[in-house]
Every structure is written in C-alpha cells, then in structure tokens.
Chain A
Amino acid sequence: MNAQSQSQSQSQRRKNFKIEAFKHKVELDPKYAERTWKVLEHAIHEIYNNNASRLSFEELYRSAYNMVLHKYGDKLYSGLVATMTAHLNKIAKSVESAQGGLFLEKLNHKWADHNKALQMIRDILMYMDRSYVPTSHKTPVHELGLNLWRDHIIHSPNIQARLQDTLLDLVQRERTGDVINRGLMRNITKMLMDLGSSVYQDDFEKPFLDVSASFYSGESQQFIECCDCGSYLKKAERRLNEEIERVSHYLDAKTEVKITSAVEREMIANHMQRLVHMDNSGLVNMLIDDKYDDLSRMYSLFKRVPDGLSTIRDVMTSYLRERGRVLVTDTERLKDPVEFVQCLLNEKDKHDKIISTAFNNDKTFQNALNSSFEYFINLNNRSPESISLYLDDKLRKGLKGASEEEVEVVLDKVMMLFRYLQEKDVFEKYYKQHLAKRLLSGKTVSDDAERSMIVKLKTECGYQFTSKLEGMFTDMKTSEDTMLDFYAKQSAELGDGPTLAVQILTTGSWPTQPTAACNLPPEILTVCEKFRTYYLGTHSGRRLTWQTNMGTADIKATFGKGHKHELNVSTYQMCVLMLFNSADGLTYREIEQATEIPALDLKRCLQSLACVKGKNVLRKEPMSKDISEEDVFYFNDKFTSKFVKVKIGTVVAQKESEPEKQEMRQRVEEDRKPQIEAAIVRIMKSRRVLDHNSIVAEVTKQLQSRFLPNPVVIKKRIESLIEREFLERDKADRKLYRYLA
C-alpha cells in the first residue's frame, strides 16, 4: 500500500516534469500596465470633472501601487504629467475667455478646483510619491501640480499680464476710495504665494511696489504744495496705516516692510527738510505752540526713516540754543534774577513736557535738551549767582505755606539747572553767602527745606562741596545752646541791660570778611565783654572776633508825641542811632569818628535811616538821595508809622555791585588755584611722567564737576609747581613733565 502509492506518485512526477526557461522575475503582462494606466487616467479625468463619487480609492491606490511595484513608475509619472497638462490647458482657455471682472473670479474658482483635484490625485499616487519619486529625482505630485499650474495658467501669455494689471488696478481703486472684494484679492495673492515666493514677488510684489512708489511720489508732491506741515503729516500717517492694513488683509506679511518703506521714502524721507522748516507750521512753530499731537506724529513718522529723528533733533537743538541765548543775554530780564531763573525753569518744563508727551521720552532728545541748556546757561557768567538768588528767594519767603512735596519739586527743578552749570564753585560761593544771610537774619523759612537742598547738593557734588555749608548749620545750633547756657549762668550779674544774642561762627565755614569792628555803644560793650569772658572761660584756646557788620538789633525808640516804636535795625544802624541818645544833630564826620564804621557801610546805613520813605527815623540836611560827607543828621521827631515794629532794612542791592562782582571773581580765581594744583599733583603722583596736553585733559576731567579750568591757568599752575620743585621738565622732551617725589 505504502510502496505502491510511492511509485505512483513518482511516475506521475516524472510524467509532468518539464524544464522551463529561467525567469529573473515574473513580468506583468505589458497590456496590464496599459490597462491599469487607463483606469488611473480615467480616474484623473473624473476627478477634474467633479465626478469622483463613483471611484474606489482602494482600487486606484492598489493600481498605482502595482504599477510602481512592477517598475512602471516612469509610465505612471509621465502619464500624470501629460494628463494634468492637458487639463490645465483647458482650464487656461476657460479662464482667458472670462469677461472683465469675472476674470479673477474664474481664476479663483478654477484654482480651488485644481487644489482639490490635486489632493485627490496625490492620494491615489501616494505610494509613487513615497517610493518612486525620491529614488528617481522627480518632483513630488503636489509640487508638480503647482508647477504645472504656474507654467500653464499664471505664465500663460494671455493671463500673465492681465492678472498683474487687474490686481494693480484693484489696489489703485481701493486707494482712491472704492470698495473692492478683498476676499478675492486675498485668495489670488495667496495662490501666488503658494506657487512659490518668487512667483509672488515677480508677478505681483515688484510691480506693486513700483506702482505704489510712483503713486506716492506724485501724491506727496501734491500734498506738500497745498498743506501745512501738520495736515501733511496726518495724511502721510493715514496712507501708511492704510498700506499696513492692506497687507494684513490680502498681501504677504513680508510685503509690509517693503511697502511701508516705499511710502516712508516717498512721503517722508524725500520731504523731510521741507517739512521741518515749513513756514508758519514747521517744527519750530509746533514747539512754540505746544502742538503735542503734531509733534508726536512727526516723531513717530520720522522715526521710521533714516536720519529722521536726527533731523528733528538738530532743528530742535538749534532752536533751543538760539532761544536760550536770547534769553540769557536779555539785559532787561537779567535785572530780576528770580524772574530770570523762573523763566529758565518754565522753558525747561515746557520742553520736558514736549519730550515726554510727544517724543516718547526719547533719551537722545533729553540729551539734546540738556546740552542746549548747558550751552546757553553758561553763556552768561551771572547764571550761578542768579540761581543761588532764586533759591534764596524761595527759601526766604517763596516757600511759605508750600507743602514739603512742593518744596522738593522746586528744589529738584533748580538742581537740574545747577547740573548745567560749569562754574559750580562760583555757585557754591554765592550760595554760601546767601545761606549765611538767611541763617544770621533768621529769615530762613524752613529748616527742612534748607537741609533738603544741602543733601541734594551733597548727592550731586559730594561731601567736600557741602561740608562748610553743613558747618554753618552746626554753628547755628551750637550758638543757640551756648546762649541758653550763658543766660542761665550769668543772668544774676547781667541785670536788666540789653539782651545779647551771639552767633558763634567758625572761621572758614562762613563767608566772613576781615573788617575792623566798629565802636559799640558802652551798654552793649559791657555785655559783650561779659560774654567774651564766659565763652573763653568755657572754651580755652579760642579767639573771638566781633563781626559787627553782620549783626542786627531791636531797639525801642520814643518819638515826638510819645510815639513808641520798636526798630529792627542792623548793628551799624544801632550804633548810629544810639549816638542820638545824647545829641540831636550830628555831622557825617562826627558819626564816622564816633562809630568808626567803614565809610561805604556807613553811607548805606545812613541812607537807609534817613532817605527811605516811611522809615526815615533820621532827618538829613540838605535833603537829597545821596549821602555826602558834609551832611548833617538830626533825630526825626516827627517820625510816624502805623506799625509798632518798624524794620529798617539796609539799602543794599540784592545783586552785587560791580566792584563786589569783580572781587568775587577774583576770590573764585584765587580759590581755584590750589584746587588745580592739587589735581595736577594727584595726577602726576600716579602717572609719574605725562605730557602737557594729557595733564590739561586729565585736570579738566577731574575738576569739571566743580568748574571748567582754563588751560592758560593750568599752564601757570604747572609752571608754579615746577618753580616749587614738585615737577620738572623732561630734559630730552620739553613737552614732558616728571613728578618729583
């Protein structure tokens, strides 16, 4: 059974045995490839004809797969190209035949159809896209579809120019106020972008930019002839915003910079100079009239173009400088330093506000403003004095009733001006003088405000700058304590003599001048001597000198008809008046001899006692405004006043007289010498060897926070130091100096 079946199968096998030709591969029937392609070709037709619902995706996919698998990829691919091209040529004809306004609609419609078809064709041919396309360096189906669309539709000779003209015409119509179909525009530009950025650029963007540039070139020319600067800028801003809006609605985002820069160039950059200098409406007029909106618009528009902001800045700077120069050289205005400084402050406020509201607080504009102020404030060498006088005015009375914050604001503003000063040391001199007067006369309004000012100066210029000013405050406090102590200890001995209030001023801290003391009336002299004994008894090793030129006195006087008045006078005036206790009439010379008051002071003092209306407690013969040495003075029995207390000021100009000014200058120059020398020695000590120009530069740098040293003065100081053998000239190179240890 077993053996039989075996032999049977063997015989069968032998019978069927046949040698076939060796095949490398099972080749598919060539007709099969043709047939399969026909199926796919038909499917592509159906897809283009919107008839895809009856197609089987699985079958089509499998067909394409089989073609690729059996090496008919080439046939499949070239068939696709041919079929698609044929369809696109038909589409081109249909788009071309569209009438007028329907052209874009048709193109858009066909583009949407093509995209949908392309997607479906790609679905069927996905396997080809994955395996055949990369290895045979073909273009993937989707890209192929776009390229064919570009070549056969967009670049078809009957469409290309018409499309471009239509698009540009629509933009132009929108610019002149028409409403266009933005959705359609969006679709068409999107199509151009989808076809590749170069298609969008070459077929639309470049001509669009050219047309826009010439449009705005013409329009800006027209505007500039008939508009003032403000309304021109408004129009330019509106055009710019329109273009930005246009890009956001239907152009490529990358076009924004290009079109805005075209508008900026045509409407702003090309007319910049003409705009800022426009008669009656240009930048200067805007600044004068505080036109914040216009200025702000100018700033934001000019910011967009090269050199735009510097154009504004330059014009503003030269305007500020000129205006400031006029201000500081206006001799009328300078007569009242308080008003003058107030004027500067107002000017500063005005432009600060412009910069903060219209110029976006631009640092470079702030710098320009600062440098302008620095420039013109220092044109006038009275500026330090004026600023100190302004402060004096504010701290004396101006701030009465002002809140702490308001005081701070005023002080801060003045500090701004102070910063601009080159001669800060001159300011210091004046400030010291004015502060001394305020302190000694008890006229300062608020101790807090005074101290706050000192702190500000200290922050600005350092400890050294204010140490003496602070010393003055300490002296005031110590004096108060000393007087309390003096009266506590000595009240028994003093009896009911005149009350003495002594302010002990440390030498050097105060702006005192060595003046000979006048002869005090004997009543006063007694008390003074007692105080001297007391003070020197408690503080050994000190020396007291009476500064009679700085004191004040309250005296009681009885005039005719028993009118009693309390007179507030200076020490000098008190000395003069006391003389009239024992005489009714005295000549100038007699007074001078008795008091030994310096002539200049005495004249002033007499002038204020005899020549000021309402305060004339003395009568002068002959009557005149000025005091001469031949005048005779009488006690004015007829003096009346509705006040019990009468303050008799000294006739003294708040501002310095010319000789005083000269003297102040000289003192300043004198004070600068040791500072310059100290700076030179400091520099040379660390550098050992340095040439002349470098020394001058370094010294200027070190001292510029206080003043601007004159190079000639520096040279003189160097020579003086060489004489005193701190430095020597290099033997080989005469321009070099060496430090001698």
Chain B
Amino acid sequence: MASRDRVRFNIGGQLFETTSTTLANAGRESMLGALLDESWNPGQPEYFIDRNPACFSTLLDLLRTGALHIPSNVPEKLLYREALYYGLLDHVRGAKWGPFDGNTLRLADSVPGRAPGDGTAIRGAPDGGCCVAHGSVVHVYNWMLEERRPISLDYQQVNDVGYIDANSIVITARERLGKGDGGMAVFSAATGELRHRFRVEHGRQPKSFTAGALSLAGLDDHRIFSSCKGRLNEYGIGVWDHNTGQQVDFFYEHPGCSLGDADKLQWLPSKNCLMVATLFPRTDNCFIGLLDLRDKSIPWCWSDAGITMNLEDKRVLHAIAMEDGHSICVINQYDDLGFIDLRAGNTNSAGTGVRWSSRSKLMNQKAPYEESCYPKLATHNGQLFSCMNDSISVFSGSEHVLTSTLRRSYGGSICDFSIGGDRLFALHNEENVFDVWDSPPCPII
C-alpha cells in the first residue's frame, strides 16, 4: 500500500520521490493533478518532466508543508514562472503573505516609479496587485509586482482609479474641452485594453463629462459611483451598473452642497446612503453629506462653514465613514483624528460636532511644512489608518489607540495609500516610489 502511494519524478535529470497524498494538495486543476488522474494512464514507474529541478524542489516543499521557502539561489521570478507551468501560482500567492493585520505589517517590497513627481493615487487589487495613477497614465502591477501594460484614458489627467475585480480597473479622467473624451471607463488589468466606456446622459442627451472621485458599492451590489462635472452645470453624482455598463441614476447637486467636485465617495450599505466629502483645499469650506439616492435627499450633512477663519484653524482634510456606519472619522492638518456622530441627526450644520481626539503632543511636534501632502484615512477590519508626511499610523480597538507606525525614509512624504488583497500600498510623493506592506504567513509554532 505504501509503495503504491509513492510517486517518482525525474525533473530535468534530478530524482524526486513523493506521495500521491502530497501531490493531491496541488488539486485536480493543476498539471500534477492531471498527470496523476486516472484518465491518463497513471501508475508509471517514473514521470519525466523537462523542467528546472530547484524550483520543483521548492514547489514540492510547498505542497508538503503549505509553507513557501524560496532558497537564495532561486530567483523569485523564476519560481513564479515554474509555478505557472505546474498550475501552482495560486498556491504560491496564498503562501507568500498572511491575513492582513495592521499591527504585524512588514515591508515586502519597494517598487521605484518611472518618473519623479506627484502621483495621484494608488489602489490595491483584490489579488494583491496594485495600480498607480500618475499624470495621465495608470501603471498596473500584478501581485508579483511585475508591471503590465500601462493604461490611459485618452491621455487625460487621471483623477481616480479603482478595481471592480482583480482583472478590471475603472478609471476616471478629466474631459478635454471641445472633445468628447475623458470621463470614465473600465480596462483589463492584464492587457490594458479598454473594455467599456461609461456614458452620462442629461435629458436623454449623451454628454461629455469630467469624472472625479470613485466608489464601488460592494460585492453583490454592482453600482459604481463617481462625482461628475458636465459643461452646462451638470454637476452631481453619476451612478452606473458595472455589470451592464449602463447609467442607472444621477444625483444632481443641490445648492450649497458641492457634489461634482467631491474628493471622496464612500457607499454605506448599513445606511443605504452614499457619503460624499468635498474638502479643503478644493473648497474653502468642507462639506460632508449622506445622499439617499432613492428619493434624492440628503438625510444628513455637515459643514465647517463659519468656524474656520484662517489657515491655522483645524481644517478637515480627509474623511472616512467608519465600518460600523455610526460615525465619520476626519483628520486635520495637525494629524488630529476627529469623529462626527452620524446618529445625532442633522444638527451639525453649524460645523460643530467634531469630537477631536487629543493628540496634542503630535500637534506641537511640527508645523506642517510646505511640501507635505494632505493626510488620508482608511479603515480595514476595525483598524483605522492615517498617513501624514512619510509615515502611516495604525489605530486599533474601539478607542482607536495608536498601535503601530509604518515609516520608510525613502521617497518623501506619502501622497496616497490603499489596502487591498491583504496588502497595504503606500505611494511616496517625491520619488514616486511605492512600498508594499503585508503580514507574514502564520508562524511555524
């Protein structure tokens, strides 16, 4: 019985012996799974495969233990290529890094940019790849951090990017006056090809537009939202279905609420509302509102109009709705976190109601210098992340205590960061280099 379970391989001249039980870990949908399947006369004394033995050794070890250990003499890219041959690339990816936890992050890689200067945005893909918007081009990286074909939407200034799934990237871009281009479109992440261009109609007339901030509703909800500016004061929030590619709604801007210029959109499933934040310096007065698309109302909004007089006053520079849907977290130029309660009703119109957390020691640390980037916020599994200058702070627990700081001295301050595919990506301003942080797989003991 034991000998029947045993399998001998000759890989590029080197002999390996393993068991069919170990090979079963590869799954039927792999080359090794098919090789041993009964439809292909199995039970041969020895299987010869004309491939690299060192890589096979590493992959066999992965199948035996579930853990990935790459010897120093095996280049990572070579291993990936071999894994693709055997159909084990997903096994390798799954073993490379563990479940995301802001407090165990390690620097996995630093990828230099192609040109210095301001990057616009970085987004993590669901499979651990990422894309970087830089000027009028979006650079796409797969999870092995190999660059794919860059994408551009008519070579217009890219405003925002997002992943619909690991293979589909949606891009919003500025409209060029006099031409029907710009707007919003979906591209293949693998090939960079244009898949679909989203249209906006006003009064049944298709119109060109500038698309700004993006948000995707979620897993089962196929809606995609973007702030839009049309030529004839057609400002507001466009809504499309990314399955059908059709426009499904348009929320026209109410007077006094700036929607077409929004910096941040976020769909809140628990409230069935879209959070829209338009912030300094795009506008003088920060506006945050919840939009109910069903009846085109704004059931809740907040503005700091009237309380910020000069540049030294605390200004809300970024906002994110917390995952529980009970409050919105904001950040100011002194790196203070603040919370606005969403349950309090629409009583905050005078701009009060932000509960600033006292981080005075940071406040006194240094005045924001000229070249710094505006801070950004993100949430993931109950943890809150903020970037300020060249570091990212991780806050944990219901009280949002600072538990970790991620800092790299290279590349200048961080202009954007994103969490996706169990990885955190941070884009630096000066060198356009981005860092990849992930949590190690579970320890051996």
For A119, give the chain B residue with the smallest CB separation.
Answer: B39
CA gap between A409 and B365 in the complex, in Å? 83
Residues in A with CB closer than 8 Å to B41 are 52-53
Q: B331 CB to closest chain A CB, in angstroms?
A: 40
Query: Does A135 lie within 8 Å of B190, measured CB to CB?
Result: yes
CB <8 Å contact, B87 and A123: no
Task: Find out whether the CB atom of A127 lies under 8 angstroms from the CB atom of B85.
Answer: yes
> Is A58 positioned at the interface, with any CB of B under 8 Å from its CB?
yes
Question: Which of B44-52, B254-262, B344-352 participates in binding chain A?
Answer: B44-52
Instruction: Check B39–A52 contact: CB distance below 8 A.
Output: yes
Contact (A58, B39) CB under 8 Å given A65-B85, A126-B87, A134-B167:
no
By beta carbon, the residue of chain B nearest A116 is: B39
Verify A134–B190 contact, CB threshold 8 A.
yes
Asked if residues B40 and A57 are in contact (CB atoms below 8 Å), the reply is: yes
State whether B49 touches A123 (Cβ < 8 A): no
Per-position 1/0 for A21-41, Cβ under 8 A of B: 000000000000000000000
A286 beta carbon closer than 8 Å to chain B: no
**CB-based contact B40/A123 at 8 Å:** yes
Quick check: is B15 within 8 A (CB to CB) of the other chain? no
Chain A's interface size range is 10 to 19
A62 near B: Cβ within 8 Å? yes
- Residue B18 at the A interface, CB < 8 A? no
B167 touches A61 (CB 8 A): no
Q: Is B35 an interface residue (CB 8 A)?
A: yes
Please tell me if the beta carbons of A123 and B48 are within 8 angstroms of each other in the complex: no
Q: Is the Cβ of A61 less than 8 Å from the Cβ of B34?
A: yes
Closest residue of B by beta carbon distance from A130: B87
Q: Which residues of B contact A116 (CB under 8 A)?
A: 39
Does B48 lie within 8 Å of A58, measured CB to CB?
yes
Contacts of B89 in A (CB 8 A): 130
Q: Are B31 and A61 in contact (CB under 8 A)?
A: yes
Decide yes or no whether A490 CB sits under 8 A from chain B: no
Given A57-B34, A134-B167, A134-B190, CB of A52 within 8 Å of CB of B40: yes
Measured CA separation A453–B89 after assembly (Å): 81
Q: B84 contacts the other chain (Cβ, under 8 Å)?
A: yes
Considering the complex, give the chain A residue whose CB is closest to the CB of B34: A123
State A123–B35 Cα separation when bound (angstroms): 8
A55 to B42, CA, bound (A): 11
Beta-carbon contact of A126 and B34 below 8 Å: yes
Contact status of A57 and B35, CB under 8 A, knowing A65-B85, A120-B40, A130-B87: yes
The reply to whether the CB of A131 lies closer than 8 angstroms to some CB of chain B is yes
Shortest distance between the CB of A346 and any CB in chain B (Å): 56
* Interface membership of B284, Cβ < 8 A: no
Measured between beta carbons, the chain B residues less than 8 angstroms from A65 are: 85
Which residues A135-178 have CB closer than 8 A to chain B? Answer: 135
B47 with A58: CB separation less than 8 A:
yes
* A127-B30 Cα distance, complex, nearest whole Å: 9
Residues in B whose Cβ lies below 8 Å from that of A120: 39-40
Choose among A53, A58, A126, A135 the residue that contacts B49 (Cβ–Cβ < 8 A): A58
Q: What is the CA–CA distance of A126 and B27 in the complex, to the nearest angstrom?
A: 13
Contact B34 A62 (CB under 8 A): no
Known A65-B85, A130-B84: A123·B39 in contact at CB below 8 Å: yes
Residues from chain A with Cβ under 8 Å of B34 in the complex: 57, 61, 123, 126
Of residues 53 through 76 on chain A, the ones whose CB sits less than 8 Å from some CB of chain B are 53, 55, 57-58, 61-62, 65
**CB of B17 closer than 8 Å to a CB of A:** no
Interface string of A41-59 (1 = CB under 8 A from B): 0000000000011010110
A380 to B188, CA, bound (A): 82
Residue of B nearest to A134 (CB): B190
Best-surrounded residue of A52, A119, A130 (most CB of chain B within 10 A)? A130
Chain A CB within 8 A of B191 CB: yes
Contact A58 B191, CB 8 Å, known A52-B40, A130-B84, A134-B167: no
Residues of A with C-beta under 8 A to B109: none
Q: How far is the CA of A52 from the CA of B42 in the complex (A)?
A: 12
| Interface positions of B from 161 to 205, Cβ below 8 Å from A | 167, 188, 190-191
B37 interface hit (Cβ, 8 Å): yes
What's the nearest-Cβ distance from chain B to residue A55, in Å?
8
Q: Residue on A with the closest CB to B41?
A: A53
Residues of B within 8 A of A123 (CB): 34, 37, 39-40
A131 touches B84 (CB 8 A): yes
CB contacts (< 8 Å) of B49 on chain A: these are 58, 62
CA distance A62 to B50 in the complex (A): 8
| Separation of A126 and B190 alpha carbons in the complex (Å) | 18
A121 to chain B, nearest CB (A): 11
Smallest CB-CB separation from B49: which chain A residue?
A58
The closest CB in chain B to the CB of A122 belongs to B34
Question: Which of chain B's residues have a CB closer than 8 A to the CB of A127?
Answer: 31, 84-85, 87
CA distance A120 to B39 in the complex (A): 7
Chain B nearest CB from A64 CB (Å) reads 10
Please name the residue on chain A nearest to B37 by beta carbon.
A123
| Alpha-carbon distance A535/B345, docked complex (angstroms) | 73
The distance from the CB of A719 to the nearest CB of chain B, in whole angstroms, is: 48
| Chain B residues positioned under 8 Å from A135 (CB to CB) | 188, 190-191
CA A131 to CA B40, docked complex, whole Å: 23
Complex Cα distance, B37 from A120, in Å, reads 10
CB distance from B20 to the nearest CB of A (A): 15
Q: Could you tell me the distance between the alpha carbons of A182 and B40 in the complex, rounded to whole angstroms?
A: 32
Residues of B within 8 A of A52 (CB): 39-41
The proximity string for A residues 104-116 relative to B, scoring 1 for CB distances below 8 Å and 0 otherwise, is: 0000000000001
Q: How far is the CA of A120 from the CA of B40 in the complex (A)?
A: 8
Closest-CB distance, A431 to chain B (whole angstroms): 55
Expressed in whole angstroms, the minimum distance between the Cβ of B127 and any Cβ of chain A is: 13
Q: Note all chain B residues with C-beta closer than 8 A to A61.
A: 31, 34-35
Residues of A contacting B188 in the complex (Cβ-Cβ under 8 angstroms): 135
A53 to B89, CA, bound (A): 29
Residues of A within 8 A of B87 (CB): 126-127, 130
Inter-chain CA distance A123–B145, complex, in Å, is 29
Contact flags B108-148 to A (C-beta < 8 A → 1, else 0): 00000000000000000000000000000000000000000
Contacts of B190 in A (CB 8 A): 134-135
A65 to B49, CA, bound (A): 13
| Complex alpha-carbon distance, A116 and B89, angstroms | 26
| B329 to A: closest C-beta gap in Å | 38
A620 → B minimal CB distance (Å): 91
Q: In the bound complex, what is the Cα–Cα distance between A131 and B86 (angstroms)?
A: 12
* A53 cross-chain contacts in B, Cβ below 8 A: 41
Interface positions, chain A 81-135, Cβ under 8 Å from B, are: 116, 119-120, 123, 126-127, 130-131, 134-135
Closest residue of chain A to B190, judged by CB? A135
User: Quick one: which of A343-371 are within 8 Å of B by CB?
Assistant: none
Question: Would you give the 0/1 interface string for B267-301, flagging 1 where the beta carbon is closer than 8 Å to chain A?
Answer: 00000000000000000000000000000000000
Q: How many angstroms from the CA of A638 to the CA of B37 in the assembled complex?
A: 120
Instruction: State how many angstroms separate the Cβ of A134 from the closest Cβ of chain B.
Output: 6
Nearest CB in chain A: distance from B282 CB, A: 38
Distance in angstroms from A138 CB to nearest chain B CB is 12
Q: With the chains together, A55 CA to B190 CA distance in Å?
A: 34
The residue in chain B whose Cβ has the minimal distance to the Cβ of A60 is B40
Could you tell me the distance in whole angstroms from the C-beta of B332 to the nearest C-beta in chain A? 45
Chain B residue with Cβ nearest A136: B191
| Shortest distance from the beta carbon of A567 to any chain B beta carbon, whole Å | 85
Which of B30, B39, B188 has the most CB atoms of chain A within a 10 A radius of its CB? Answer: B39
Q: How far is the CA of A65 from the CA of B87 in the complex (A)?
A: 11
Chain A residues positioned under 8 Å from B40 (CB to CB): 52, 55, 57, 120, 123
Give CA–CA (A127, B85) in the complex, Å: 7
Instruction: Give Cα A506 to B85, complex, Å.
Output: 105
Closest 7 CB pairs of A and B: A123-B34, A57-B40, A135-B190, A135-B191, A120-B39, A53-B41, A57-B35
Q: List 13 A-B contacts (CB under 8 A).
A: A52-B41, A53-B41, A57-B34, A57-B35, A58-B47, A119-B39, A123-B34, A126-B34, A126-B87, A130-B89, A131-B84, A134-B167, A135-B188
Beyond A62-B49, A135-B188, 13 additional pairs, beta carbon < 8 A:
A52-B41, A58-B35, A61-B34, A62-B50, A65-B85, A123-B40, A126-B30, A126-B31, A127-B31, A127-B84, A131-B84, A134-B167, A135-B191
